[in-house]
Amino acid sequence: MTTDHDISSVRVRTLEHIVERGQTWERMAARYRVTNPVPPWKSSLDATCDALDEEGATLPLLTRRDDEDRMSREVYTSLPYPENQLVALAHSLVARNVVDEDELAARLEAVRARLDAAGA
Amino acid sequence: MAETDLDGSGHDTHQHAGTAPMVEEVTDFEVLEIALRELAIEKGLFTAEDHRRYTEHVEQLEPAAGSRFVAKAWVDPDFRRLALDDAIAASQEMGIDWLHPTGFGTPSDFTAFELLEDTPTLHHVIVCTLCSCYPRPMLGMSPEWYRTPNYRRRIVRWPRQVLAEFGLYLSEDVEVRVEDSNSKHRFMVLPVRPDGTEGWSEEQLAEIVTRDCLIGVALPKPGVTSNATRPLHPAIRPVTSD
C-alpha cells in the first residue's frame, strides 16, 4: 500500500447510503435531548485507530490521517466530526482493499439486526 | 439494512426528570463503528484484547491532568524544575504514566514529552503539521479544530493572525514560537502565571489553566475556566502572504 494513493474517487455506496440517512450525533442528541458532546461510540473508534496504528502495516497512521483529511474535505463534506472520521476510516479500509464492500454491507445488516433485536 | 423509524413512532422517548436521557435509537454510525471493529478483529488486524485495552486508555484521558500539572509547576519550584528538565518524570510524580497502556506508550502517545516555558516576552503554541499528534496523557483527545488542515497549515505561517482568530492578541515585543509535534515528540505549554492569582491554591489555579492555554491559543486569566467555542474553517489555499 502506498501512502500517496488518492482514494477520493472510489465510490463506496454503502457509506453514501449512511450519509444520506444523516443520523449524526448532533441531530440525534438534539432529538433525544442528550447533552454528551460526542457520541458514545467515539472512544471505541479512537481505540480502533490506536490499535490499527500499533499494528501499523495495514493502514499506516499517516495514510489514515491523510485519507481522513481528504475524505472530509472532498467527499463527506456534509458530515460533522467525528462522523467524518468514522466514515473516512471505513472508506479507507474499503478503497484500500482491506475490507470488501459487500462484506461490510452484510456485517452492517447483521449488527443492525442484533442491536435492534436487543431493543425490541 | 433495516430502516430505523426516524419519526420515532416505534420508540419510547419518555423523559427522566433530572437525568440526561439516552438516545433510544440505534444509529447507522454506531452500527458502522461496531461492524468495522468486528471485521478488523476477524481479519487479525488487532485483537479484541488490544481494543479493550485502548478503549480503557482513551476513556481515562482528560485535560484536567495538564491543568493540575501546570498549577503544581506554578506553586512548587522543585516540581517546576523537574517538569522543565524531565517532563515524563514529573508526569509520573503526578501519577500520569506515559508508558500506559502497552508498557511503551501508544503510537499516539510516544514517550518523549517536553514542557515549553512561556515568559513575558516569549509565547509558545503547539501544532502537528503532519496529522494530529497531541500530548494525550496530559490533555485528553485533541479538539476538532486542532485536527483540521486549516489550523495545521496556517499556524506555522501566520501564527499571530491565527492566534488573533482565537481571541489572543500578542504585542510585537512578544516572540511567538510554533512547536511542531510529531510521532516521536510531544509538547505542552507552561503559561506565565497571571497577575491577580496571588495566594491561590493549586486547585484554584488549575481551574483557569484551560486546554486552550496548554495548547497556546489562549492565556490563563482569572475568571475564565472554559475554552471558547470557535468556528471551523475549511482548508483553502492562501493566495497572499503577510
Q: Which chain A residues have a beta carbon less than 8 Å from that of B55?
A: 43-44, 46-47
Nearest CA distance, B44 vs chain A (angstrom): 10
pLDDT at B239: 47
pLDDT at B100: 79
Among A15, A32, A104, beta carbon nearest to B21: A32
Give the number of other Cβ atoms within 10 Å of residue A74's Cβ. 12
* Cell numbers given for A53: 496504528
pLDDT at B108: 67
DSSP codes, B99-147: TTTTSS--TTS-S-EEEEE-BTTEEEEEE-SSS----HHHH-SPPHHHH
Identify any residues that bridge with B190 across adjacent strands, giving them in sequence order.
B117
More confident site: B84 or B100: B84
pLDDT at A34: 87
Per-residue pLDDT tens for B101-122?
Answer: 777 777 666 678 999 999 999 9
Average pLDDT, chain B: 86
Chain length of chain A = 120
Per-residue pLDDT tens for B176-226?
Answer: 999 999 877 899 999 999 999 999 999 999 999 999 999 999 999 999 998
Is the per-residue pLDDT at B94 higher than 70? yes
CA B240/CA B183 separation, integer angstroms: 31
Per-residue pLDDT tens for B11-44?
Answer: 444 444 444 557 788 999 999 999 999 999 999 9
Confidence band of B228 (pLDDT split at 50, 70, 90): confident
* Cell numbers given for B79: 516540581
Is the per-residue pLDDT at B10 higher than 50? no
CA A99/CA B241 separation, integer angstroms: 43
Confidence band of B231 (pLDDT split at 50, 70, 90): low
Look at residues A77, A72, A103, A74 and name the one whose alpha carbon lies nearest to residue A88.
Answer: A72
pLDDT at B235: 57
pLDDT at A101: 98
Nearest CA distance, A76 vs chain B (angstrom): 13
DSSP 8-state assignment for residue B192 = P
Identify any residues that bridge with B123 across adjacent strands, giving them in sequence order.
B176
Nearest CA distance, B157 vs chain A (angstrom): 19
- Is B30 close to A40, i.e. CB distance below 8 A? yes
* Cell numbers given for B26: 440505534
* Nearest-Cα residue of chain A relative to residue B148: A69
Chain length of chain B = 242
- Is A41 close to B132, i.e. CB distance below 8 A? no
pLDDT at B14: 45
Contact B220, B193 (CB under 8 A): yes
Give the number of other Cβ atoms within 10 Å of residue B98's Cβ. 21
Among B21, B30, B59, beta carbon nearest to A43: B59
Confidence band of B237 (pLDDT split at 50, 70, 90): low
Look at residues B241, B73, B242, B66 and name the one whose alpha carbon lies nearest to residue B141.
Answer: B66
Residue identified by cell 524531565 is B86
* Cell numbers given for A32: 433525544
Determine which one of B67, B108, B133, B181 is catalytic. Answer: B133
Q: Which chain A residues have a beta carbon less than 8 Å from that of B58?
A: 43, 46-47, 50
Q: Quick one: what percent of chain A has pLDDT higher than 70?
A: 95
Per-residue pLDDT tens for A15-74?
Answer: 999 999 999 999 999 988 888 888 999 999 999 999 999 888 889 989 999 999 999 999
Contact B89, B136 (CB under 8 A): no
Among B46, B59, B149, beta carbon nearest to A52: B46
Instruction: For residue B213, indicate whether it is catalytic.
Output: no
Average pLDDT, chain A: 91
Structural domain boundaries in chain A = 13-119
Per-residue pLDDT tens for B129-178?
Answer: 998 899 999 999 999 999 999 999 999 999 999 999 999 999 999 999 99
CA A107/CA A3 separation, integer angstroms: 27
3-state secondary structure (DSSP) of residue B160: helix
